[in-house]
Amino acid sequence: MNGAEMMIRTATQAGVEVCFANPGTTEMPLVAALDATTGMRAVLGVFEGVCTGAADGYGRMTGRPALTLLHLGPGFANGIANLHNARRARTPVVNLIGDQASWHLAADAPLTSDIASLARPVGWVHEVKGAHEVGDATAKAIAASMGPPGQVATLIVPADAQWNEAQAPPAVMDRPELPALDEGRIGNLAEAIRGADRVVVLLGANGLCEAGLRAAYRLAASGCAEVMIETFSARIERGSGLPDFPRLPYFPEQASEALAGTTHLVLAGALSPVAFFGYPDGESRLCPAGANEHCLALPGEDIAGNLDALADRLGADAHPELANAPRPEPAEGPLNPASLGRTLAALQPEGAILVDEAATTGTAYAPFAGAALPHTTLGLTGGAIGQGLPCATGAAIACPDRPVIAFQADGSGLYTLQALWTQAREQLDVTTVICANRSYRILQVELARAGIAEPGPKAQSLTDLRNPEISWTHAAQAFGVPGTRVETAEAFADAFRHAQSEPGPHLIEALL
Amino acid sequence: MNGAEMMIRTATQAGVEVCFANPGTTEMPLVAALDATTGMRAVLGVFEGVCTGAADGYGRMTGRPALTLLHLGPGFANGIANLHNARRARTPVVNLIGDQASWHLAADAPLTSDIASLARPVGWVHEVKGAHEVGDATAKAIAASMGPPGQVATLIVPADAQWNEAQAPPAVMDRPELPALDEGRIGNLAEAIRGADRVVVLLGANGLCEAGLRAAYRLAASGCAEVMIETFSARIERGSGLPDFPRLPYFPEQASEALAGTTHLVLAGALSPVAFFGYPDGESRLCPAGANEHCLALPGEDIAGNLDALADRLGADAHPELANAPRPEPAEGPLNPASLGRTLAALQPEGAILVDEAATTGTAYAPFAGAALPHTTLGLTGGAIGQGLPCATGAAIACPDRPVIAFQADGSGLYTLQALWTQAREQLDVTTVICANRSYRILQVELARAGIAEPGPKAQSLTDLRNPEISWTHAAQAFGVPGTRVETAEAFADAFRHAQSEPGPHLIEALL
């Protein structure tokens, strides 16, 4: 068995089932190995950012890594932005990157470059030394990706390590067990916050599962603490029947205001909150000066278990009643962020996976989402735009029985619109809603925040996507996805219902 | 004056005139500085690979750097693939990347990453320490980019270095002078190769200008040496009235055959030839064992002057006559690579800039190009696909009076199709010819070379772009470019003539 087959077999034996691929010449043995072995699905992306974003969406939904198969340094580079998002989401992803044959590296052929230097900023990296270690290296990469917490793991595999004979089977990798709850520490925390002025639990990471939300709600309902959600979350369960908490605002002055007066900030999966960007005279840290910051549980730990134990210590009701807002009604009249958001929340089906890269338009949807039917939301964790369409693609591969909604800002969507083709090829049940405000609206806001009240013509041109207007319906058609343009809430509702009634991908361009 | 204005002013004073931009929040002061200063044109790309590829095309045509303005690590990462091509083309490019404010870096906010690690594989990097050094750093980056030879230079500029007050003006950077010709070395080389069995001059880099080609032709016409062109060249002048030389073939066994029997290989701008990829039982170096390899001139040196001096020493005729092949006639009948290539060569206008990312289809065009009207060809130097449409965009910005032809493979074109939007916005005179064979044809060839005579279904699916077929005419319409699909040589000729007769961008999808 050659090295490439050993790698794919090791991966399938570890439970890896999907490879999002855009290979080249230095990956040909791995391509052949996909056919020579059984159990690995190959999904082609026609741009690498599609592959990596799909692996991110897949990993968020399954908790297991997908492979990506990418071509040398430049091919990998095209996937880095979405790997940055995966890194911040702590998603397990395993990248296989072919490299020049080991004996050919010194020749510095045109496509040769320092791949490891490109890969280190997104996570764990191993440069495979030869076919003798490909099994071990693959097993270690998969284990590294799984964490907990999850991470991006990259194997750089010279072509000769793929085509040469591999002898050694992989080492057996045991998954580390989560540490038991530290009752002493939880007891001390309970004493510290009992009866304190303003206790805020900041919930994040895998704490945003149903069990984590319910455990946090015990604290909130009993008055032990307020609960807030980290600003950008990898995955959260939302909708009727689930607790709904406010999110820590994006802009630092709003976030500071939301946290003002906090005497105890309890981190449950969330990191210590910091500003997304620094501004002149701004600050990095958002926790109020003088507040005590406590870490209840780190990302990847048993956040729900820790919260439940804390709630027990504080004597919180084990089964508090939920007061759910009524499901929103579809809006009428012209489309704007609010009418679009309300109508989407009203119509999104039960069990939907909503990938939220709606940027400024998404803020108007957020207040309605908690009362929508139960669903899962995947967010933009790393701020690297172009995540939504690929992530939706991967989520749909992971969960073929669940409808997927890509709620997508137009400017961001342009980065990786090639994902539509993979959706069409695989006939994925994805409804893409393009929020067509024809601008980088967030940058227009940021220009104003930077004190540029009246941007000059160049600044205006760099934040404006008219001239020419982009036709998303034509883009969808180009890639084999039926597309519709709508200008009213009623037309959006009709188009959305139609998309839900048919299998396969659809795109709705919502003119705002 | 703040740091951002100091940077843009320093650049314009050094003769930099264009900034290909896709900025974000950490670049807002630089965006404002584009309006606050005069002389810098701002061109928006809706994906960073468009910006970097355009800067490459611009730099190849002008010999001066354009700026790119990119957002943090992930934004820069999206531009790396085309910077890899620029690196291999030795194109001067200056990247400005905003980073988090220096005091905010330690907070590790979501968009923070190790930008320098991403940038080092493509060239010169400097991390700006503060507003006090932005002028100097900008001047040094521009000087570094100019070489010679040219290179990619990257400045990582924290937001506070942009918005804080800059005091020191930039240091004055003198451009280094090229060394004088080394007559002794040239004399020794002349003695070594005079009357030798098989002398091959491998011409590359800036030796492919008209003067370099004519100087090399003196050696060829006088029988002193054969001349070959490096396999992938950044820029070459071609067409009637210019010498036309064979190109060193792509596949290593063909290249080795082409060089078999060579006793002296003279490198004139070209590097010592190596295989593009290593294959089992293959070799890295293509120069025959036992042959003497001589370096006449390095990239960036005075290659034409060195060749002329060598020709003088060897007594070669100073003005040999050229025997030009007749201009090809347009083909008739069904479109295939040969009929498309012939018709394109027949119709391309004088002075055209042809950006060749036609991959396998391009090999059928190559034999006709030498007899086309005089033109400039820009090639894929680094093998990072997705170069053509952006590079054509930048070439058109650089040379508004010259028609630009993007001769583009379909699979490669998908990587950066967003360039069409910039062509439409700027109303650039670019005719894109999509070679629609609906496959990664080169990978089908490489699969066969890897011994996989009958690829399995997964390998087939990863090299096939049908199911669904991509409609390039719809993609063009999506971005505001008129598009036509053609299936015969005559229809292609009509569409091409029509595109040439109208200003602004056009796209022709040539079904092969």
Answer yes or no: do A28 and B446 touch at CB < 8 A. Answer: yes
Higher pLDDT, B170 or B481: B481
Best A103, A277, A425, A465 member to test B by mutation, with max B CBs in 10 Å, is: A277
Nearest to B412 by CA among B472, B492, B338: B472
- Contact between chains at A384 and B469 (C-beta distance less than 8 A): no
Which range, of A415-429, B25-39, B173-187, B339-353, averages the lowest pLDDT? B173-187
Work out whether strand A235-238 and strand A375-379 pair parallel, antiparallel, or are unpaired: antiparallel
CB contacts, 8 Å: A507 with chain B: none
Structure tokens at A492: 């959006």
- For residue B507, which residues of chain A lie inside 8 Å, CB to CB? none
**Residue A32 to residue B386, Cβ atoms within 8 A:** no
Q: Interior CA angle at A300 toward A296 and A304, to 5°?
A: 55
pLDDT in tens, A76-118: 999 999 999 999 999 999 999 999 999 999 999 999 999 999 9
Residues of A in contact with B157 (CB under 8 A): none
Q: Do domains B183-313 and B337-511 have the same CATH topology?
A: yes
How far is the alpha carbon of B275 from chain A, nearest alpha carbon, in Å? Answer: 7
Number of A/B CB contacts below 8 angstroms equals 311
Cis peptide before A320 (omega within 30 of 0): no
Q: Which whole-number Å values give the CA distances from B184 to A84, A295, B187, B317, in the listed order?
A: 55, 73, 5, 21
Please state, in angstroms and rounded to a whole number, the distance separating the CA atoms of residues A164 and A160: 6
Task: Give the residue-averaged pLDDT of B1-25.
Answer: 97
Query: Which of A96, A404, A56, A255 shows the shortest CA–CA distance to B74?
Result: A56
What's domain A183-313's architecture?
3-Layer(aba) Sandwich (3.40)
Is the per-residue pLDDT at A172 higher than 80?
Answer: no
CB-CB under 8 Å, B25 with A277: yes
DSSP A165-223: BP-SPPPP-PPPPPPPP-HHHHHHHHHHHTT-S-EEEEE-GGGGSHHHHHHHHHHHHTT
| Multiple choice CATH, A337-511, 3.40.50.970, 3.40.50.150, 1.20.1070.10, 3.20.20.140 | 3.40.50.970
Residue A209's pLDDT band (boundaries 50, 70, 90)?
very high
Are A47 and B414 a contacting pair at CB < 8 A?
yes
Provide the percentage of residues in chain A whose pLDDT is more than 70. 100
Contact B35 A456 (CB under 8 A): yes
Give the whole-angstrom CA distance, residue A3 versus residue A311. Answer: 51
Confidence of residue B176 (pLDDT cuts 50, 70, 90): confident
Q: How far apart are CA A4 and CA A17, in angstroms?
A: 16
8 Å CB contact between A42 and B458 = yes
Q: What is residue B177's predicted lDDT score, i.e. its pLDDT?
A: 83
Instruction: Name the band, by pLDDT with cuts 50, 70 and 90, for residue B168.
Output: confident
Instruction: List chain A domain ranges.
Output: 3-163, 183-313, 337-511
pLDDT at residue A170, rounded to an integer: 83
Give the minimum alpha-carbon distance from B312 to chain A in angstroms, rounded to a whole number.
33
Q: Do A32 and B456 touch (CB under 8 A)?
A: yes
Token readout for B459 is 């390998």
> Chain A residues with CB inside 8 Å of B77's CB?
77, 80-81, 84, 118
- Name the residue facing A450 among B32, B117, B122 (closest C-beta): B32
Residues of A in contact with B480 (CB under 8 A): 468-470
Preferred mutation among A82, A118, A357 to probe B, highest tally of B CBs within 10 A: A118
Residue B1 predicted with pLDDT over 80: yes
Q: What is the pLDDT of residue A203?
A: 98
Contacts of A285 in chain B (CB under 8 A): 107
Q: Is the peptide bond before A455 cis (omega within 30 degrees of 0)?
A: no
- Does position A22 have pLDDT exceeding 80, yes or no? yes
Residues B304-339 pLDDT 10s: 999 999 999 999 999 999 988 899 999 999 999 999
Residues 6+ apart with CB under 8 A from B140: B126, B171, B173
Q: What's the topology of domain A3-163?
A: Rossmann fold (3.40.50)
Model confidence over A436-493: pLDDT tens digits? 999 999 999 999 988 888 999 999 999 999 999 999 999 999 999 999 999 999 999 9
Residue B409: predicted pLDDT: 98
Closest CA to B33 of B131, B151, B153, B128: B131
Q: Using 50, 70 and 90 to split pLDDT, how confident is the model at A64?
A: very high
On the question of pLDDT at B174 being above 80, the answer is no
Q: Would the pLDDT of A232 be above 90?
A: yes
Q: What pTM, to 2 d.p., does this model score?
A: 0.98
Span A272-295, pLDDT tens digits: 999 999 999 899 999 999 999 999
Please report how the helices B3-13 and B28-36 are oriented relative to each other, as an axis angle in degrees rounded to 10. Answer: 50
Q: Supply A151's token pair.
A: 């991470």
Question: ipTM score here?
Answer: 0.97
A458 closest CB neighbour out of B42, B159, B278: B42
SS3 readout for B396-437:
HHHCCCCCEEEEEEHHHHHHHCCHHHHHHHCCCCEEEEEEEC
Rounded to the nearest angstrom, the minimum Cα separation between B474 and chain A is 5
Contact B81 A88 (CB under 8 A): no
* Predicted local distance difference test score (pLDDT) of residue A138: 97
